[in-house]
Chain A
Amino acid sequence: MYQPGDELRYVDWKIVGRNDRLYVKQFEEETNLRAMVVCDASRSMAWTGAPDTVLPKLAYAQRLIAALSLVLLRQRDATGLITFDDDVRSVLPPRARLSHWRQLIGTLAALEAGRGTAAEPALQRVVGQLRRRGLVVFVSDLLLDRPITMKALRFLRHRGHQVLVLHVMDPAEVTLAGPAEARFEDPETRAAVVLRPRDWAGAYRDVVRSVVGEWRLGCRRHGIAYHRVTTDTPYGMVLREALAPSSRAV
């Protein structure tokens, strides 16, 4: 039924002629999806708690994005890539050709960890790359300014994009361990804390759980899909969860 404010060009005049009722035409878009993957390449992403057994977060993210983009491209969805650290590092516009995957892989392969983290410029660049509604996949360890990042994500959502946040965490970031007493230093900011991991493991676990909860809640509140991914999780499992319709529809 027509509601005040609906555009008059979408009124179905034929039905008006037949039964004198105002109906508005609705169209289902059947064009292919345009997706933009935003990858965090800050220094914190280059870290792993167990170099012999677990990939660094950035390496894990590279492989995950490669797999994801292949899936999207095979569906003939145009897929692009933006990488960033404390600034935008590279922008690969979305293309639907399968051969575009090679460029995408090449960009990912050349990606090295940068310095700090600033996601907002990268997320703003997405707007220029996705003129129509599309899918934004944000892959990051989320060790960044949450209010600013959330604001940027909300803006994308406001523009009608589906937004999927993949929160990449190393297992060693989930459970605090280490020597009897250690000076823990942030590789990006050089901020340091001296403490005994055994004393603080429980409280740290609570804080991590709380932080993840806040991200999840904040994303859900604005219709943003959120998945926490640890780097020891098989890629297939992550993709299945992340690309499930229920997940993207959040």
Chain B
Amino acid sequence: MISFLHPWVLLGLSTAAIPLLVHLLARREPPTVIFPAVRYLVTTTEQHQRRLKLQHWLLLLVRTLLLLALVLAAAGPTIPRSGVTGHSPGALVLVVDNSPSSGLVVDGIVRLTALREAARQALARATPDDRLWLITADGIPRRGDRRTLEGELASLAPSPRRLDLGGAIGLAGEVLAAERRPGEIMVLSDLQASAVSPAEVTAPLVLGRPDDPPPRNVGIGRLETGTQPWPSDGGRITILAVGDSGITVPVDARLGARPARQALVRVGGGATITLSGAPSGWWPLSATLPPDELRVDDGRVGVVRIAPLARVDWEAGERFITAAAEVLEANHRLVRGTDVTIGRLAPGLSIVLPPADPAAVGAQNRALAARGIGWSYGEIDIEPGATDSGAIIRPVRVMRRYRLQARGSGRTGVLATVKRQPWLVRSGDVLLLGSRLDPEWTDLPVSAGFMPFMDVLLNRLARGELALIDAAPGDPVALPDLVTAVRQNDREWRVEGGGSFRPADLGIYYLLAGADTVGAIAVNVDSRESLLARATDAQLRKLWPGARVVDLGQAGAAAFSSAARGDLRGPLLWMALLLGLAELALASLVRRQRS
């Protein structure tokens, strides 16, 4: 079957109509010329009409064929060359999808085994002159000879990382762009509909997909732990199930090593489970489903912080702070006390706002300095801006703010920014806010995010707890400023606050600031991996024009098929050249007869 490297060029076939259109458009009502020797013209046309008409139609045909040949050549047509056992030296990029869904077990065989076998068969067709590349879910192109890549394949296991196939094809295209020899991309994957995305296909693309339909799968898509920290009397979690069927399955939820609680959850819906209290601390949370063919999404982990409610003292004169604190108190999210003071600098944990009177800023700064706080209030900035996106606060408008200035060389403890400048910072047991919580300064007090912000500010930030983050393996996670290390079980990574961290494995990573735990990252499989429904061949060809879709068992034999395919561009260009010469000769003949 003929396939095209650049099928969109075939739109140019419409240009073949140009000679005919020119011919038809030129056929308008001609002017009348009085000419006595019409009888000679009649004789002339009688003698030459047939020959001239034939020449004109031949010229039209040749010009049309010439355009067709050029357009077809530009589209890069290839045809399979039967009986060809070898191939010219080429480059092959193997994309082996070892994403979590490749851990699917069908008839006792892991799906990745079939993908690996197809990859081995493809490599078996390689010659020493071929360039070979391997791309897996980690997104790193590995180059090697056949033996090296077979070794890589042998050690390949299902990865917790999701593989976006469109991105992988784009990456493979970039790899091949540097190759001088003809290249080919072979994707061996279960071709989940949730994993395919548009990509520019710059080289012949072969897609090897399993020929059996995927089983119906159920997985845990999300594990929500609600507002944190939990009080010591416990809290509620919500488990959302995803998958390809609408069945209801039992789910276990367990806080630490405590006895599990069970509930029923329907795919596409959620189940809420109340977990009893526990002593203060960081508690791992797990939810599990009964095992099915894809095990990796049958469990999910989370982190729960259990701590006593903040005991807060607030200034009665601060209208919006008072209102928010009273609402939180009524909802059992804080109690009155003196552990945390908001609105002024107090001996304990304090959340300091800039004074309403600018004349008092100097005294405020002196008090902060006397306390050993590394930040102070600087110039007032009345240019409107907005808070930058972050885990703590969504963007809100800020009309007035004091610039927060760090003392000394370091600039640590930044929790939120406006125009990339510190707006909420922490130093020791003091938090400094750049704006007063008043609508004249910022829209925050009158926005929907004010109550969650106050909850996080009083219950977590004031206590030095910075982040509870959900992530997928391999995703970059922005670390809060104060974080100095990341720990998972016995492993620990020294990190720089404000930097990025990529968790590689599933599980819980704790964020440390010195000896204190200030946050956690719960790393789970991307919920899209639970959707095993396969993209149809039509969808694939629409996303990746020109792609050949073959069964996994035949994928190996399809390797280097582009190199073993006959490229019709050469013959077409020769044909175009011959047609061009024919056109030239015919046009010259007609011109000669005219003159």
Contact = CB atoms under 8 A, between A and B. Distances in A.
A and B pair up: yes
Nearest to A43: B36
Given A141-B36, A185-B34, A186-B35, A200 B41 contact: yes
B592 A202 contact: yes
Contacts of A141: 36
A173 to B, nearest CB: 5
Interface in B541-595: 590, 592-595
Nearest to A190: B38
B180 interface: no
Given A191-B38, A204-B40, A207-B40, A182 B32 contact: yes
A173 B37 contact: yes
A116 B590 CA distance: 36
Q: Is the interface of B mostly helix, strand, loop or mixed?
A: helix
A192 B32 contact: yes
A232 interface: no
B38 A203 contact: no
A97 to B, nearest CB: 36
B41 A182 contact: no
Contacts of B42: 191, 193
Contact of A202 (B32, B34, B36, B594): B594
B35 A181 contact: no
A201 interface: yes
B593 A202 contact: yes
Contacts of A10: none
A144 B155 CA distance: 101
B491 interface: no
A194 B44 contact: no
Contacts of B43: 207, 211
B361 to A, nearest CB: 89
Interface size class of A (residues with CB under 8 A): 35 or more
B39 interface: yes
Nearest to A181: B30
Interface in A120-170: 141, 143, 170
Contacts of B52: 199-200, 203
**Most chain A Cβ neighbours within 10 Å, of B30, B44, B590:** B44
A234 interface: no
Contacts of A179: 30-31, 33
A201 B38 contact: no
A143 B37 contact: yes
A2 interface: no
A183 interface: yes
A181 B47 CA distance: 19
B58 to A, nearest CB: 14
A225 to B, nearest CB: 23
Nearest to B595: A202
A207 B47 CA distance: 9
Nearest to B43: A207
27 contacts: A141-B36, A173-B40, A178-B33, A179-B31, A182-B31, A183-B31, A183-B32, A184-B38, A185-B34, A185-B35, A187-B34, A193-B38, A193-B42, A193-B45, A195-B41, A199-B52, A201-B594, A202-B592, A202-B594, A202-B595, A203-B44, A204-B40, A207-B40, A208-B37, A208-B40, A211-B40, A211-B43
Given A208-B37, A211-B43, 7 more contacts: A44-B36, A184-B32, A186-B39, A193-B41, A200-B48, A202-B592, A207-B40
Interface of A: 43-44, 47, 141, 143, 170, 173, 176, 178-189, 191-195, 198-204, 206-208, 211
User: What 6 A-B pairs have minimum CB-CB distances, sorted nearest first?
Assistant: A44-B36, A186-B38, A181-B30, A184-B35, A203-B48, A182-B33
